[in-house]
Amino acid sequence: MAGGIWIVAVQQIPQWWGVLFKSAVIGGIFLAVGYSVTLIPLELKWDSSRIRITRLFSSTVIPLAEVRQVKKFPYASVESSIRTCGSGGMFGFLGHFKNEEVGRYVMYATELDNLVMVKTAGKTYVFSCVVREEFISDIREYLANEV
């Protein structure tokens, strides 16, 4: 008897609800993919005054005057992190994450082998850098010369 009631209830749902639901799901998927694409890092540059991560429509600029710490970020820290908003594999590891060790951080990583963490007074950034050792050495040298 209950099965018959269910069928009757389903038959009373207007057809446009199904179209609306499918459109909302497909739209949500496109929004999520679109958001992830805007976070993909295209280029990493640094000089004696700033670190610049260029993305598709914008850039993240970290003034060296604000940098408090720069170091390697181990893969184990990524594994113990929780993604709060972003992509955890599709197009890379992009968006906002948090873990107990580091706290909240923003990650722009297309691969997880050469991760670098840069801490400022207000934010923590993690990104991949193919020349990680050179990057860390340069930034530490710039910071030492500022003092």
Output b/e per residue, 1-39; b: 16+ Cβ within 10 A: eeeeeeeeeeeeeeeeeeeeeeeeeeeeeeeeeeebeeb
pLDDT given for residue 3 in this prediction: 53
Residues 67-92 pLDDT 10s: 999 999 988 888 888 888 877 777 77
- Residue of 87, 82, 77, 79 whose CA lies nearest to 108: 87
Q: What is the pLDDT of residues 34-52, one digit of tens each?
A: 877 777 788 899 998 899 9
Higher pLDDT, 63 or 95: 63
CA proximity to 46, closest of 122, 127, 147: 127
What mean pLDDT value characterizes the chain? 84
The SS3 of residue 38 is: helix
- Say whether pLDDT at 12 is over 70: no
- Rounded to the nearest angstrom, the gap between the alpha carbon of residue 81 and the centroid of all alpha carbons in its chain is 12
Q: Taking 60 as the threshold, does the pLDDT of residue 5 lie above it?
A: no
Over 60: is that where the pLDDT of 8 sits? no
Report the amino acid identity of residue 22: K
- What's residue 29's pLDDT? 87
Q: Is 56 exposed, middle or buried (0-12, 13-18, 19+ CB in 10 A)?
A: exposed
